[in-house]
Amino acid sequence: MYTRPVKHIMGAIALFAAFAAWGRDISIESVNRSAGGGIESVTLGFTAADEPSFLYLVSDTEDKGTDWHNWSGVEKVAVIPGGTTRHTHEFLSKWSGTARFFLLSGGSISMPIDRWLDYVEVDGRQTVETPFVATGLARIEMDYEPTALDTACVFSCRNALAGPESTYTLFYISGSGWRFDYSGNGSANTPLSEPGIDCHIVTSNGQATVNGTTVANHTGKNFSSGDLLTLFGLRYGTTKYEAKGRFRSLKAWSQHWVDETLALDLVPASSNGVAGLYNRIDGTFLTDREGVGLTASAGGTDVNVVQDQTGAVTGNFGAERNVCVTSTTRDENNRLTEVSLSITAGAATRWLYVAHGNCAGDAGNPASWSACDEVAEIPEATSTTNLVFNVPAEWNGQIRFFLLEHDVIPCDVRYEYVTVGASKYVETQFIPTRDTKTEMRLAFTDVSASQTPFCARGTATSANTYTMFYIANAGWRFDFGTSQNSSAVKAEADRAYLIETDSSGLSVDGNQVISATAGQFTALGRLALFASHYGNTSYGNNFTGRFYHFRAWDAQSNLALDLLPCSVNGEVCLYDRVSKTYLHPSAAISPDGAAVADNGYAVTASTVVLPLTDGGFLVIVK
């Protein structure tokens, strides 16, 4: 996230829609307000695009125009997958002022910059200081092309006042080759045949390799270099050893282990026309500390920034979600037995989880805890929900409560969507009735073929059926009871639609396209996704396209199915949140959708961590 904070400002707020010069328009489709008139969320509409993009919210006391650099607050709020046509942004804290939305494309963007560069070049007069401190356990990978074979320091972590036993430094020595000083001084070897050779450099646990060839092999040990990692030069007394070359990338880990968290990720970029190195980890932009300036490559990829255009809404942001511990109860042994909670979900349903045991990292991240269990589904509301949580007697350590955007489902990989090919279907055990309601999000690959998103019927296709078709080049059809109800409203290929059915008919993206009525009936077959059937045999008219989710409610408005795409043991399937079981397709489905990390959702944490066997509180300010 960009490092400038979003300011919380008193006063009215203006929201601006946006457009893209490269053809991806944005419009504000709706503004959702609380009962008091505060803005809880804004729904944006997009034209389809194949590539993923990144949605930013900028804020200030007043409209600062279409240049994001002029705004005091810049915050990445969403990744927009290719093909997305609609996105709802929720405001998760109370604030007011002026805000605009920006959309960016072009690589793994974490902040607005002007251009990704192929490389930046140094000519022996520049150095760049990074926030990383190397120890003997560090791992560094760097792509660098020397443009001269003079003696030069490629990178260095060495305190100028310390002895060589605390250095982590890579040199190229003229006429001799590479030298890796690790704890003590190293020796030079393996010279390059000529300048201009792309070099992939890896230093890890005392060893250094260049393009796969080992150029140094020290004994791995732990020590502190005592200084920040500096690129392209070593400042040590009057000796500079500054480099001449082209920098393409650098990654650094604090440990040499494969699963260690990446600490530094530098790529060449320009911001406001200034060439530098962008750190994708903390969103900072690094430039030459000598004041000479880095030289940008001629090539590169523009970061396409959607410039804001027209449309404004005013008001105060009013949506706030929280989970607060209001009181606790302990037994005669001072052990925690009950926790009273006050919860506000905000503009959407949230899931309450309790993390317990030990925390190995960030206490505000549920994934850092040794265990995390679902407690309850909290319906959307601007008022508070109060509940009491009974702490299991066998728990130890500490607990903390979290509100999550999504429930955490047990699977290998959870997908935003999966791609369903021809001849695939998924059977359920659910039998619809007249009063059933369904909700399904999908996108057709081809609208020139007749196909079936779902079907529940017997062998008589005009009796007791609850089936949705899309008829090739003709529109939607909802077979309901004993009637076939059609609509001339047509779909577009590769556009994601939200389709809803109930006893009044069928709606697409909130617009009713079919009105239907029927007497009381129960379908004569179980509901199946992606194909029509005769009494759950002879499947055909298969749907092909992207599947996002499916939900169904029974006649009493109880959620009966809530299907999400995921993979388990390498097989793509659908997980039913209601029965907590997996539904496997008739044949393999392609996991083409974007993977969704369960710990990547927006999370609201309670402000306290509660020890189970200690009466005190460890207060963690969010």
- Give 368-418 as a DSSP string: GEEEEEEEEEE--BSS-EEEEEEPPTT--BEEEEEEESSPPP-SSEEES-E
Could you give the CA distance from residue 105 to residue 304 in angstroms, rounded to a whole number? 5
In this prediction, residue 621 carries a pLDDT of 32
Could you give the CA distance from residue 203 to residue 205 in angstroms, rounded to a whole number? 7
Could you give the CA distance from residue 255 to residue 138 in angstroms, rounded to a whole number? 5
Least confident of 224-233, 316-325, 598-607: 598-607
User: What b-and-e string marks burial along 392-409, b requiring 16 or more CB atoms within 10 Å of the CB?
Assistant: eeebebbbbbbbbbbbbb
User: How much of the chain, in percent, has pLDDT values that exceed 70?
Assistant: 81
pLDDT band at 389 (very low <50, low <70, confident <90, very high): very high
Q: List beta partners, residue 315.
A: 13
Q: Does the pLDDT value for residue 17 go beyond 60?
A: no
Mean pLDDT of the 381-405 span? 86
Q: How many CB atoms lie within 10 A of CB 272?
A: 9
Phi, psi of 47 (to 5 degrees): -80, 150
Mean pLDDT of the 403-411 span? 82
pLDDT band at 111 (very low <50, low <70, confident <90, very high): low
In this prediction, residue 612 carries a pLDDT of 87
In this prediction, residue 580 carries a pLDDT of 86
Give the list of residues 6+ apart from residue 258 with CB closer than 8 angstroms, or none: none
Tokens at 134, concatenated: 């190397």
C-alpha angle 160-162-168 in degrees, rounded to nearest 5: 80
C-alpha angle 146-131-294 in degrees, rounded to nearest 5: 40
CA distances in angstroms from 456 to 440, 531, 562, listed in the order given: 15, 10, 17
Could you give the CA distance from residue 115 to residue 131 in angstroms, rounded to a whole number? 23
In this prediction, residue 36 carries a pLDDT of 57
Q: Does the pLDDT value for residue 188 go beyond 90?
A: yes
User: pTM for the full model?
Assistant: 0.47
CA distances in angstroms from 70 to 64, 73, 239, 282, 368, listed in the order given: 6, 9, 41, 20, 37
Q: How many CA atoms lie within 13 A of 551 on its CB side?
A: 13
Q: Does the pLDDT value for residue 123 go beyond 90?
A: yes
Q: List beta partners, residue 440.
A: 499, 550
Q: Does the pLDDT value for residue 620 go beyond 50?
A: no
Q: Does the pLDDT value for residue 129 go beyond 70?
A: yes
Q: Does the pLDDT value for residue 405 go beyond 80?
A: no
Please list the helix, strand and coil fractions of the chain in percent, rounded to the nearest 5, in that order: 0, 50, 45
- Which residue matches tokens 């009057």? 238
Q: Is 206 left (phi over 0), alpha (psi -120 to 50) or beta?
A: left
In this prediction, residue 391 carries a pLDDT of 94
| 8 Å CB contact between 619 and 602 | no
Mean pLDDT of the 260-284 span? 85
The residue ranking higher by pLDDT, 56 or 578, is: 578
Pairing assessment for the beta strands 350-359 and 398-404 based on DSSP bridges: antiparallel
Reported as a single tens digit per residue, the pLDDT across 307-350 is 444 444 444 555 567 788 888 888 888 889 999 988 887 767 78
Could you give the CA distance from residue 537 to residue 255 in angstroms, rounded to a whole number? 57
pLDDT band at 99 (very low <50, low <70, confident <90, very high): confident
Q: Is 293 left (phi over 0), alpha (psi -120 to 50) or beta?
A: left
| 8 Å CB contact between 584 and 599 | no
pLDDT band at 199 (very low <50, low <70, confident <90, very high): very high
Q: Does the pLDDT value for residue 124 go beyond 70?
A: yes
Mean pLDDT of the 391-403 span? 91
Tokens at 182, concatenated: 């690790």
Least confident of 15-19, 181-185, 212-216, 267-271: 15-19
In this prediction, residue 453 carries a pLDDT of 97
Most confident of the following: 157-161, 403-407, 573-577, 615-619: 573-577
In this prediction, residue 7 carries a pLDDT of 26
Could you give the CA distance from residue 459 to residue 532 in angstroms, rounded to a whole number? 11
What is residue 578's three-state secondary structure? coil
Q: How many CB atoms lie within 10 A of CB 599?
A: 12
pLDDT band at 37 (very low <50, low <70, confident <90, very high): low
C-alpha angle 206-207-208 in degrees, rounded to nearest 5: 125
446-452's contacts with Cβ under 8 Å and 24+ in sequence apart are: 446/493, 446/544, 446/545, 447/472, 447/473, 447/490, 447/491, 447/492, 447/493, 448/472, 448/473, 449/544, 450/541, 451/541, 451/542, 451/543, 451/544, 452/530, 452/531, 452/532, 452/541, 452/542, 452/543
In this prediction, residue 550 carries a pLDDT of 96
Mean pLDDT of the 55-64 span? 74
DSSP label at residue 297? P
Q: Does the pLDDT value for residue 143 go beyond 80?
A: yes
In this prediction, residue 173 carries a pLDDT of 94
**Best CA proximity match to 617, nearest among 327, 322, 323:** 327
Most confident of the following: 259-268, 300-309, 443-452: 443-452
Tokens at 385, concatenated: 């929900």
Tokens at 84, concatenated: 């997305």
In this prediction, residue 103 carries a pLDDT of 76
DSSP label at residue 236? B
Q: How many CB atoms lie within 10 A of CB 285?
A: 17
In this prediction, residue 12 carries a pLDDT of 37
Most confident of the following: 65-74, 268-277, 301-310, 551-560: 551-560
What is residue 199's three-state secondary structure? strand
Pairing assessment for the beta strands 571-576 and 581-583 based on DSSP bridges: antiparallel
Q: Does the pLDDT value for residue 135 go beyond 90?
A: no
The residue ranking higher by pLDDT, 281 or 537, is: 537
First and final C-alpha spacing in the chain:
16
The residue ranking higher by pLDDT, 70 or 43, is: 43
Arithmetic mean of pLDDT over the chain: 82
* Cβ neighbourhood burial of 286 (10 Å; 0-12, 13-18, 19+): middle
Most confident of the following: 57-71, 210-224, 540-554: 540-554
What is the rounded radius of gyration, in angstroms, for the C-alpha atoms of the chain? 29
Could you give the CA distance from residue 137 to residue 109 in angstroms, rounded to a whole number? 29
Could you give the CA distance from residue 523 to residue 462 in angstroms, rounded to a whole number? 11
Give the list of residues 6+ apart from residue 115 with CB closer than 8 angstroms, or none: 269, 270, 296, 300, 301, 302, 303
C-alpha angle 477-478-484 in degrees, rounded to nearest 5: 85
DSSP label at residue 433? B
Mean pLDDT of the 278-285 span? 81
Q: How many CA atoms lie within 13 A of 149 on its CB side?
A: 15
